[in-house]
Structure formats: structure tokens, C-alpha cells
Amino acid sequence: MEEKKPAVDVEALEKEKASLLERLKEADRRYRYKIFEAKALSEMLEKRKKEDPLPPVREIRKNIHRLEFIISTEARTLKQERELVKEVRKWEKKLGGAIETERMERRLVFINDDIKRAEQQVKELETRMNELRAQVYEKHSAEHKSRKESKLLELKRNVEEEKLKEIKPFMKKNEDGRVDLGEICVIKKKEK
């Protein structure tokens, strides 16, 4: 009954190790995907910034509001107002690109956070996996050692039983329970 208990423990550890391995594979896949996604997004972001460097969204909005305020409050000629409206539209187009760039930058920050979390999870799962491997190894080695010891004990018992079988015919007891010395050992007489 005691011998089956370690086997059950080993089976439970093996099952836990297998489920942990699946979780580790999934976390590693997610980690690799996030790395690839971050790399692609950062390359696209760098390309976009090189092609059309834009000021931050806050500055563009400030310029738009300033121009709209000038249009609505100052008296200008029709031609000057049209130029200001064209400039507002130009800034509004830039605003769309700048907003998209900022969204990409924010997304890259979130992806990098996901990468850190996934990396941490992979490390934790690997640590747990190593602990389980060590436990399984210990159980297997203990099981192997106990099997070896039990075989050795069985062998010793068999040897002792064989010795007793050999000695038993010589061990005749008297009716009072005593054994004569001659029955236990062979007494040799000295030869002259």
C-alpha cells in the first residue's frame, strides 16, 4: 500500500508538469507574437516619423484653435481669411496623422508592457517547471532506491532462510529446550 502512494504522487506531478508545459508553450507563443508585433509596429512608426515628422497633437490643436480664434475675432480681407482657412485645413490633415502616430506610440507602450508581463510569466512557469522536474526526479530516485533496498532485503532474507535450512537438521533440541554443543558445531579432535 505504501509503494502505490509514491506512484500516485509521481503521476500527479507528471500531470501537473504536462499542464504546466502547455501553459508555458502558450505563454511563450504569446511572448514571441508580442515581440514580433512590437518590432513591426516600431519599424512602421520610425518609417512614418522619417517620412513626415509631425509636431505633437497638443501643439497642432493649439495652432488650430489659435487660427480659428484669429478668423473669428479679427477683421481681415476675404483673401486673408481664405488663406487662414486653408492653413486650418492643412493643420487638421496633419492632426489626423499626428493622432494616428500617437495611437501607434501608445499601442507600442502597451505591447511592451504585455511583453514584460509575458516574459515574467514565462520565467515563473519555467521556475515552477524546474521545481516539478526536480520533485519528479527525487520521487523516481527515491522509488528506485526503495525498490533496490527492497530487493536487497529480499535477497538477504533468502540467504538467511537458506542458511537456516542448512542448519535446521543439526539443531535438534532436547525436550527441555536446550541444544547440545555437539549438535551446533563439529568438534574435532587433535591428532597427534
Looking only at Cα atoms, what is the longest distance across the chain?
154
Tell whether 190 is covered by a domain.
no
Tell whether 189 is covered by a domain.
no
| Residues near 68 by beta carbon (within 8 Å), at least 6 away in sequence | 88
Are 111 and 41 in contact, with CB atoms under 8 Å apart? yes
Can you read off the three cell numbers belonging to residue 56?
505633437
Amino acid at position 60, single letter: I
Are 61 and 95 in contact, with CB atoms under 8 Å apart? yes
Alpha helices in the chain (DSSP H): 4-51, 57-73, 78-167, 181-184
Q: Report the alpha-carbon angle 8-14-20, nearest 5.
A: 140
Instruction: Quote the radius of gyration of the chain (alpha carbons, Å).
Output: 44
Confidence (pLDDT) at 35: 92
Tell whether 127 is covered by a domain.
yes
Confidence (pLDDT) at 176: 64
Confidence (pLDDT) at 36: 93
Confidence (pLDDT) at 3: 47
| DSSP 3-state of 179 | strand
Confidence (pLDDT) at 107: 93
Mean pLDDT by 10-residue block, N- to C-terminus, for the chain (192 residues)?
Answer: 56 83 88 91 89 85 89 85 89 88 92 91 88 84 82 88 76 62 68 70
Tell whether 191 is covered by a domain.
no
| DSSP 3-state of 173 | strand
- Work out how many domains the chain is built from and give that number: 1
Confidence (pLDDT) at 112: 92
Closest by alpha carbon to 26, among 127, 125, 134?
Answer: 125
| DSSP 3-state of 171 | coil
Tell whether 10 is covered by a domain.
yes
- Domain range for 166 is 4-184
Confidence (pLDDT) at 113: 93
Confidence (pLDDT) at 122: 87
Confidence (pLDDT) at 1: 37
pTM above 0.75, yes or no: no
Tell whether 95 is covered by a domain.
yes
Confidence (pLDDT) at 49: 84
Closest by alpha carbon to 111, among 30, 57, 56, 54?
Answer: 30
Tell whether 45 is covered by a domain.
yes
Tell whether 26 is covered by a domain.
yes
Other Cβ atoms within 10 Å of 163 Cβ, number: 10
Are 113 and 5 in contact, with CB atoms under 8 Å apart? no
